[in-house]
Amino acid sequence: MPEKVPAQSANTPNAQTQAHAHAHVNTKKIGAVLGKNSVPIFFLLLSIGGIIAAGLDINYLINELLGRLGRNSFLVLSLLIPIIAGLGLNFGIVVGAMAGQAALIITTHYGWTGLGGFGLAALISVPIAMVLGWLTALVLNKAKGREMVTGMILGFFANGVYQLVFLVLLGWVIPMKNPAIMLPSGIGLKNTIDLFDISYALDRGLDFIWDGFIMTEVGSIPIGPWRIPILTLVVTALLAWAISFLIRTRLGQQMRAVGQDMHIAEVAGINVNRTRTVALVISTVLAAWGQLIFLQNIGTMNTYNSHEQVGTFAIAALLVGGATTRKATIWNAIVGVLLFHTLFIVSPLAGQKLLGIPQVGEYFRVFLAYGVIAVALALHAWQAKVKSNKELRGE
Amino acid sequence: MSNANTNANANAPTPASSGRVAENRIIKAVANFLEWYGVPRLIITCFLLALLILAVIYRMDLGSLLGDSLKRVGMNGLLVLAMVPTITCGAGLNFGLPVGIICGLVGGVFSMSMNLTGFTGFFVAILLALPLSVIAGWLYAKLLEKVAGQEMMVGTYVGFSVVAGMAIFWLTAPIKNPSMIFAIGGQGLRYTLTLYDYYAGVLNNFLAFNIVIGNFAMTIPTGLLLFFGFFCVLMYLFFRSRTGLAMLAVGSNPEYAASSGINIRKMRYTGVIMSTVLGAIGIIVYAQSYGFLQLYNAPLYMAFPAIAAILIGGATLRKATISQVIIGSILFFTLLTTALPVVQTVLDGSEVGGGISEIARMIIQNGAILYALTRVGRR
Amino acid sequence: MPGTLFYNLHIRIRLVLRGEKAMSDSFVLELKGITKAYFGTTVLKDVNLSVRPGEIHALVGENGAGKSTLMNILFGMPVIHETGGFDGEVMLDGESVRIESPRRAMELGIGMVHQEFMLLPGFTITENIKLNREITRKNVVSRVLGAKMETLNVPAMRKDARAALEKLSLSVDEWAPVAGLPVGYKQFVEIAREIDKKNIKLLVFDEPTAVLTESEAEYLLDAMRRLAAEGIAILFITHRLDEVMSISHNITILRDGEIVAQMPKDEAKIERIAELMVGRKIERAKLPPRGFEPSDSEIALSISDLRVEMPGERVKGLNLRVRKGEILGIGGLAGHGKVGIANGVMGMYPAMGEVVKGGMDVPLNDSKAALQAQMAFVSEDRRGVGLLLDESIEMNIVLTSMQAQNKFLYKGPLNSLRLQNGKRIRSHALKMIKDLDIRCTGPMQLVRRLSGGNQQKVCIARAFTLEPEVLWVSEPTRGIDVGAKQLVLDLLVEFNRTHGMTVVMTSSELAELRKICDRIAIVYEGKVVGILPPDASDVEYGLMMAGKAGNVKEVG
């Protein structure tokens, strides 16, 4: 093994290779940039193709995207910290979404409205999400190396418990009376709950300054109508800043270390399980808030389904943005949301135009979400295997 | 296991009084029993016994409860059995079972479009599905080989994407049989295809008979059970053959297998293909019993009950036997079948009943899988 | 060991008399009566060891001698506490301490340079050096949420890292990522991390030169000398004896978990150390006679220019001829490739070269071909390669034979689908259990539940079932009780005498080789340097293992 290693200093490549490399540097650089971003570029081309095929109005698309950027980015960002801490894609954010919904049910029951009601829901969701995040960490710390599949099953399991609480126990064991949101029998919540109390509470929270509405013409090109969810985007930007701040703290450094190698981190005196727990608790709380932001934009809650696909769609978006199960940045999240949702908007229309069957597009986007995740996971597992083989051979 | 050890270790160094020792012994015996019988199996058994006792107390129609359960066990049995080859060859639980299921559905659909009925329709469906599932299984095995160590997660999402991708195929499939396609539009298969005029119940009704003792009457779906039994015997024999034992060695310790001159790759492929084929046949058996072919998103989560059943039977991520398949199927599917009517009867008049059995299924099914995933891998 | 105390006193007096300056008079580290058992097997027995500030203390011993366990104790690794702790006392600066975690060890000033690098490839050199000891600044958030939220003070961290690297005269950009560094540099980053700890008193080097080139190793030894001169005590674990001689002040030799000798360097000789590491004075019991004496006129197996890519045990162009009917021993120090030979021939690791058995070429890299050439292998990695831990004893015994030779199967048209013959399996397993005296509740017992010695017997039964002409056995007695050791050796002799099996046995314990072998080949740096008779002198063995045999010797 030792003989094979070139005894060459890392920062002084010898002159010959340097000269050689110079000629190729430009093409190589471009190649590297393309290679590094091949996933988002592929989806960008796919989106453009879809837009052309569907003959979509760009102003409509931008308006839609602004709304979706606002309501989805927070959820996608909540995935970052567990990736940094080496837990992979946190399929357990479904649990966080449930915490958010539980809080929302409480505020809706008491009829708290507006931005205040929304803020209260955010506040109430914190302790719930913290406890659930802690429980998630308990489970995932027992399943090291298979956190993702365990997190996914945990989501399904938690869904069962959630339904038990809100469909069976509520009104039967837990005393609550509210015909507006409960089933006629007085037991369990309705399938859909109207959220007009807090609808757009955050999106339009700054309306008293400016309603974010744009409709103008530049030259003769009509711009708009667009509606920017200003406060939501501000809050999302704050989160992005907070995450990048966290990475630069001691805790963030510990998370990065644990994420790279648990054993080495342990030897360095870092409490691995604790660090992973903190990462999961933060992620779960953020997911709860993310779900609240999502729901205030949508305006209604499918009590028993709204959270189910949260994990899948957020994860697919992040992966489309070029993230992997081990590395993800804020830009991956934002680019991913834009691209993934462009496809989401475009594909039914393109399906309709191309095949005359609108459902094709519907299924195509579901296929897309699952397919992206499958490919990303497979690629990651494959790379990990190739890498470990190389290490075994001592390369 | 870990419980037993920590208890023993924690108490060992302290000079214990004789009472303590006896207590320890009891704890140890209980721990040993739990280790041997398995916690999920114990919980499910207790649940099931409680339900059956309630059914007796409330004077429910025990015959039809048990008859339905038997039917449900038989129709799901092959899907559970499909887990054994992948576990044994070391690829873990087959979360990608929908890959096989889809092949079975394609076979079922095309057999139906040929207007074949009865056993002909049933067997032609299987014959059509076989080559498809062998090819699909081979491709799936190739993928799993590349992602060794992450088979479960990759398998799940490959299964999901195949199901979603096939939905586009169902929409555009070149099938003209008007009873199969949407009434409006003239294209696209329906969400559920009724098999009553084709091959519904061919196995269930084959040699079926009734047992009647006084008030107690139950139907035995003889053909269905025979078919399931036949495959169980086949698998049992297979795992006692040279190849089957080679597969066992590969799953148990690849290095031992390599040092015994076994071709590890070939065994993994064989295991995954067998599982896929069983999934394909399994869904056809399921459909003939159920009476419908369910297309589109229906197969999405079909792997999970099968996985839960074999885990409840006492299998682990590394080891599974045919007896675990049978025990697990009986426990889990009997529980699912009896839960709804029993709960509804017990909570008579209350509206709670409807959701509760579905909720119980979700909690039990995923709880069993979670339990298996969080148990420390021994090595 | 009453001798140890005397030894320490002895060294101390001598050193004081000689007036060594760098070393202080008091001990940094004292280990007293350290005893440790894993699952009933004693791996360390009453180990006493003391190190002074500025002293380089070499700890030498073969694989499995207990060095790593001792280090794990010293470093508070969880594996020690999870397996019931240890007996004895660790004293630092004259005070008894409890080291319950790596973190505690660090706080106490114990540093460790690991054999496999404990560096995070995605971190920069600075981040690695400062891992979990980051320099931070307070900020608004940290005032509310606590110290964990303090921001990293990168310039200060870089400055510290720079200083540590300069101490080692290493010119490398402290902000370079570790991933692309050459192996030698990584080692220095490890050391830099340890000396950056301000309170460092004792630095443990765990086989630091194993992965280095010769010049890198030289450089490292220099750095170690300089560190010692600054008053840091160094515990140097290695089995490269020339390095021990070149830099250590005192030497402790560990074998089978016990200290067999402690001496100052001046009194030590390489051959003597090698001999102490592997040797054990034993009586060569009289072995049963055989009908014919094996000789070069009948060769069972001839190996030429064998190269095996087994990490840590590379074989580099080895030639060996095995006589029919003999028991050939293969000895040598760890890391020189003795274990690689059997693994290469039997297809377990990538190999090149020529192996001829009975006039036929045996293809390499093909386990099946090796098995079909009537060879069998008892691996040194019992639990890893040798056994199916969660299967029954009988299945473990017969499975290889069933797969490679189609034995124990009912008749059938397709070999691959022939069914197992349960009766034949059972009767064979029962016979093996009886013949080999495998202590178990029955042939269906899971192998995991057997003791180490009985597991080894199952491995041997598995190989024996193949009815091989040549039986390769690697480290047959490692990790099993003393009583069981003798039984295993007796078995090998019996196979050889009554079944005429040619046995090639690889072992780190020279004593057992000398007990039963006809000839013993010594491997050094991947090649056979000589073949000695079992009754050759300790000095001859010691010289050869240290690579100091002038020319290749053959015995008749």
pLDDT digit string, tens, across residues A62-121:
888 998 999 999 999 999 999 999 898 888 899 999 999 999 999 988 888 888 889 999
The pair of three-digit structure tokens given for residue B216, joined into one six-digit string = 């107690």
The pair of three-digit structure tokens given for residue A309, joined into one six-digit string = 């696909």
* Residue A85 confidence (pLDDT): 92
Å between B162 CA and nearest CA of chain A: 8
pLDDT over 80 (residue C6): no
pLDDT over 50 (residue C464): yes
Q: Please state the φ and ψ torsions of residue C38, each to the nearest 5 degrees.
A: -105, 120
Q: What residue of B is the nearest CA neighbor of A143?
A: B374
C42 DSSP β-pair partners: C37
Chain B residue numbers touching A378 (CB-CB < 8 A): 143, 146-147, 150, 154, 158
H helix or E strand, kind and range, residue C205: strand C202-206
Choosing among B2, B153, B170, which should be mutated to test the A contact, i.e. which has the most A CBs within 10 A?
B153
List chains touching A (3+ CB pairs under 8 A).
B, C
* Residue B348 confidence (pLDDT): 67
Q: What is the percentage of chain C residues whose pLDDT exceeds 90?
A: 15
> C378-467 has which fold?
Rossmann fold (3.40.50)
Instruction: Give the Cβ contact number of residue A163 at 10 Å.
Output: 22
User: Pick from A152, A382, A384: which is nearest to B156 by CB?
Assistant: A152
Q: Please state the φ and ψ torsions of residue C443, each to the nearest 5 degrees.
A: -65, -15
pLDDT over 60 (residue C18): no
- Give one word for C248, left, alpha or beta, with left for phi > 0 and alpha for psi -120 to 50: beta
Distances from the Cα of A257 to the Cα of A271, A325, C181, angstroms: 11, 16, 18
Mean pLDDT score, A240-252 = 91
The pair of three-digit structure tokens given for residue B94, joined into one six-digit string = 């087959």
CATH for C298-374+468-556, among 3.40.50.300, 2.160.10.10, 2.40.30.40, 3.40.50.1820?
Answer: 3.40.50.300
pLDDT over 50 (residue B15): no
Q: In this predicted model, what pLDDT tens digit does every residue of B205-235 receive, in sequence order?
A: 888 788 888 777 788 888 899 999 999 999 9
Å between C79 CA and nearest CA of chain B: 14
Å between C376 CA and nearest CA of chain B: 9
Are the beta carbons of B318 and C390 separated by less than 8 Å?
yes
Residues of B with CB under 8 A from a CB of C: 9, 237-238, 240-243, 245-246, 248-249, 252-253, 255-256, 258-262, 318-319, 379
CATH superfamily to which C1-109+200-206+233-268 belongs: P-loop containing nucleotide triphosphate hydrolases (3.40.50.300)
Are the beta carbons of C420 and B246 separated by less than 8 Å?
no
Average pLDDT, chain B: 84
Instruction: Give the Cβ contact number of residue C122 at 10 Å.
Output: 17
- What is the band of A226 on the pLDDT scale with cuts at 50, 70, 90? confident
* Residue C485 confidence (pLDDT): 79
* Residue C285 confidence (pLDDT): 65
Using a CB–CB cutoff of 8 Å, tell me whether C411 touches chain B.
Answer: no
> A57-304 has which fold?
ABC transporter involved in vitamin B12 uptake, BtuC (1.10.3470)
Are the beta carbons of C367 and B259 separated by less than 8 Å?
yes
Q: Is B185 exposed, middle or buried (0-12, 13-18, 19+ CB in 10 A)?
A: exposed
* Residue A3 confidence (pLDDT): 35
pLDDT over 60 (residue A241): yes
Q: In this predicted model, what pLDDT tens digit does every residue of B314-333 receive, in sequence order?
A: 888 888 999 999 999 998 99
Chain B residue numbers touching C384 (CB-CB < 8 A): 253, 255
- What is the band of C281 on the pLDDT scale with cuts at 50, 70, 90? low
Are the beta carbons of C102 and A260 separated by less than 8 Å?
no
Q: Is C536 helix (H, G, I), strand (E, B) or coil?
A: coil
Using a CB–CB cutoff of 8 Å, tell me whether C140 touches chain B.
Answer: no
pLDDT over 90 (residue C3): no
Å between A139 CA and nearest CA of chain C: 21
* Residue A15 confidence (pLDDT): 41
Q: What residue of A is the nearest CA neighbor of B165?
A: A367
Å between B160 CA and nearest CA of chain A: 6
Q: In this predicted model, what pLDDT tens digit does every residue of B100-134 receive, in sequence order?
A: 999 999 999 988 888 888 888 889 999 999 999 99
Average pLDDT, chain A: 83
Whether a cis peptide bond, with omega within 30° of 0, leads into A225 is: yes
Are the beta carbons of A156 and B362 separated by less than 8 Å?
yes
Residues C406 and B242 sit within 8 Å (Cβ to Cβ): yes
Distances from the Cα of C519 to the Cα of C320, C327, C340, angstroms: 12, 7, 19
* Residue C390 confidence (pLDDT): 87
Q: Output the DSSP codes for C464-521.
A: HHT--SEEEEESTTTTS-HHHHHHHHHHHHHHHHHH--EEEEE-S-HHHHHHH-SEEE
pLDDT over 50 (residue B6): no
Mean pLDDT score, A165-193 = 83
Contacts of residue C166, defined as CB under 8 A and 6 or more positions apart, other chains included, come to: none
How many beta-carbon pairs under 8 angstroms link A with B? 139
The more confidently predicted of residues C170 and C517 is C517
For the domain covering B40-374, report its CATH number: 1.10.3470
- Domains C1-109+200-206+233-268 and C298-374+468-556 belong to one CATH topology: yes
Q: Is C297 exposed, middle or buried (0-12, 13-18, 19+ CB in 10 A)?
A: exposed
Q: What residue of C is the nearest CA neighbor of A269?
A: C103
User: Pick from C118, C119, C148: which is nearest to A249 by CB?
Assistant: C148
Residues C71 and C112 sit within 8 Å (Cβ to Cβ): yes
* Residue C437 confidence (pLDDT): 84
Parse chain C into domains and list their residue ranges.
1-109+200-206+233-268, 115-198, 298-374+468-556, 378-467
Are the beta carbons of C182 and A5 separated by less than 8 Å?
yes
Q: Is C39 helix (H, G, I), strand (E, B) or coil?
A: coil
Q: In this predicted model, what pLDDT tens digit does every residue of C421-430 receive, in sequence order?
A: 889 999 999 9
Lowest mean pLDDT among A130-144, A215-229, B103-117, C142-156: A215-229
- What is the band of A388 on the pLDDT scale with cuts at 50, 70, 90? low
Å between C305 CA and nearest CA of chain B: 23
Residues B259 and C400 sit within 8 Å (Cβ to Cβ): yes
pLDDT over 70 (residue C271): yes
With the CA atoms of C382, C386, C391 and C394 taken in that order, what torsion angle do they form, in degrees rounded to the nearest 10? -110
Are the beta carbons of C103 and A269 separated by less than 8 Å?
yes
pLDDT over 80 (residue B307): yes
Of residues C207, C230, C233, the one with CA closest to residue C220: C207
Q: What residue of C is the nearest CA neighbor of A257?
A: C120
Of residues C389, C413, C417, the one with CA closest to residue C402: C417
- What is the band of C478 on the pLDDT scale with cuts at 50, 70, 90? confident
The pair of three-digit structure tokens given for residue C427, joined into one six-digit string = 């009767």
Is the complex ipTM higher than 0.85? Answer: no
Contacts of residue A152, defined as CB under 8 A and 6 or more positions apart, other chains included, come to: A91, A311, B153, B156
Å between A87 CA and nearest CA of chain C: 16
Q: In this predicted model, what pLDDT tens digit does every residue of C306-343 receive, in sequence order?
A: 999 887 788 988 999 999 889 999 988 877 888 899 99
Chain A residue numbers touching C148 (CB-CB < 8 A): 249-251, 254
How many beta-carbon pairs under 8 angstroms link A with C? 100
* Residue B349 confidence (pLDDT): 58
Instruction: Give the Cβ contact number of residue C12 at 10 Å.
Output: 15
Helices (H) and strands (E) in chain B, counts: 16, 4
Chain centroid to Cα A217, Å, comes to 35
Are the beta carbons of B246 and C403 separated by less than 8 Å?
yes
* Residue C280 confidence (pLDDT): 57
User: Pick from C370, C387, C416: which is nearest to B256 by CB?
Assistant: C387
Tell me the Cα Rg of chain C. Answer: 26
- Helix A230-247 to helix A272-298 angle (10° resolution) is 170
Residues A305 and A111 sit within 8 Å (Cβ to Cβ): no
Q: Cα B203–B205–B207 angle (5° rounding)?
A: 95
Q: In this predicted model, what pLDDT tens digit does every residue of B268-301 receive, in sequence order?
A: 999 999 999 999 999 999 998 888 888 888 888 8
Using a CB–CB cutoff of 8 Å, tell me whether C367 touches chain B.
Answer: yes
Are the beta carbons of A3 and C213 separated by less than 8 Å?
yes
How many beta-carbon pairs under 8 angstroms link B with C? 83
* Residue A290 confidence (pLDDT): 94
Mean pLDDT score, B12-30 = 66
Chain C residue numbers touching B379 (CB-CB < 8 A): 389
Q: In this predicted model, what pLDDT tens digit does every residue of B239-260 receive, in sequence order?
A: 999 999 999 999 888 889 999 8
Q: In this predicted model, what pLDDT tens digit does every residue of A305-355 receive, in sequence order?
A: 777 788 888 998 998 888 888 888 999 999 999 999 998 888 888 877 877
* Residue A11 confidence (pLDDT): 40
* Residue C17 confidence (pLDDT): 40
List chains touching B (3+ CB pairs under 8 A).
A, C
Of residues C149, C147, C151, C176, the one with CA closest to residue C161: C176
Greatest CA span in chain C, whole angstroms? 89
Q: In this predicted model, what pLDDT tens digit does every residue of A118-139 receive, in sequence order?
A: 999 999 999 999 999 999 999 9
User: Pick from A154, A370, A371: which is nearest to B370 by CB?
Assistant: A154
Choosing among C368, C381, C401, which should be mutated to test the B contact, i.e. which has the most B CBs within 10 A?
C368
* Residue C2 confidence (pLDDT): 44
Choosing among B259, B267, B378, B379, which should be mutated to test the C contact, i.e. which has the most C CBs within 10 A?
B259
Of residues A97, A161, A30, the one with CA closest to residue A306: A97
The more confidently predicted of residues A13 and C464 is C464
Distances from the Cα of A302 to the Cα of A27, A125, A176, A195, A287, angstroms: 51, 18, 19, 10, 17
In 3-state terms chain C splits into helix, strand, coil percentages (rounded to 5) of 40, 25, 35
Instruction: Give the Cβ contact number of residue A59 at 10 Å.
Output: 16
